[in-house]
């Protein structure tokens, strides 16, 4: 367990890697001041196209997956949770810039712990985002559905509580999106 504790700061630092800013800048955009101002895959896709957005999605997903994978190797599911959550927190709360919303980084963490649920909800997310043209709406619905799915699949109650806490963090990071959705002002995805 001591190794997990030592690796938590490294996992947090991994989470702070500014993938959206770097990819947007390579396409001539400042993701923090253009579009929604959010340093995430959806905003990069709006500004620089779906390929750039997909690259950000893959990199942010990899942050959570790598951290959780190392944690799993070092100390099982507890290690995966500790390092995965550290990476998600690093992604959402970096010290030196505005953080992302945490969906992709959390997805990477969760694919290590719950691969079947992630695949199922990724399909649901893609369908919802395509039909509604709102990535935030799809993300919010899948975020709420995830702890429910974990509980229905019979995982330990402590895992349901931990996933619910992670879901609350992601929902809190989407507060502005929720307000815009309620006012019908949320920005559509480019198709």
Does residue 30 belong to any structural domain of this protein? Answer: yes
The answer to whether position 190 is within a domain reads no
Q: Is residue 191 part of a domain?
A: no
Domain annotation covers residue 113: yes
pTM as predicted? 0.91
Residue 69 lies in a domain: yes
Q: Is residue 188 part of a domain?
A: no
Interatomic CA distance for residues 163 and 56, integer angstroms: 23
Per-residue pLDDT of the chain (191 residues; tens, 9 = 90+): 899 999 999 999 999 999 999 999 999 999 999 998 999 998 999 999 999 999 999 999 999 999 999 999 999 999 999 999 999 999 999 998 899 999 899 999 999 999 999 999 999 999 998 998 887 889 899 999 999 999 999 999 999 999 999 999 999 998 988 998 899 887 776 54
* Domain count across the chain: 1
Which domain, by its residues, includes 140? 2-182
- Rounded distance, CA 113 to CA 81, Å? 8
189 is a domain residue: no
């Amino acid at each position: 367990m001591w190794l997990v504790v030592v690796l938590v700061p490294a996992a947090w630092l991994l989470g702070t890697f500014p993938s959206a800013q770097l990819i947007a800048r390579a396409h001539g955009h400042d993701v923090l001041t253009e579009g929604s101002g959010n340093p995430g895959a959806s905003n990069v896709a709006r500004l620089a196209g779906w390929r750039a957005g997909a690259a950000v999605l893959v990199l942010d997903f990899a942050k959570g997956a790598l951290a959780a994978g190392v944690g799993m190797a070092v100390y099982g599911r507890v290690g995966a949770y500790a390092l995965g959550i550290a990476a998600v927190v690093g992604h959402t709360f970096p010290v030196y810039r505005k953080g992302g919303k945490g969906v992709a980084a959390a997805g990477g963490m969760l694919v290590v712990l719950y691969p079947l649920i992630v695949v199922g909800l990724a399909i649901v997310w893609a369908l919802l985002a395509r039909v509604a043209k709102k990535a935030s709406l799809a993300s919010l619905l899948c975020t709420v559905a995830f702890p429910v799915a974990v509980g229905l699949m019979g995982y330990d109650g402590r895992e349901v509580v931990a996933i619910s806490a992670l879901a609350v963090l992601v929902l809190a990071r989407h507060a502005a999106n929720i307000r815009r959705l309620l006012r019908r002002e949320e920005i559509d995805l480019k198709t």
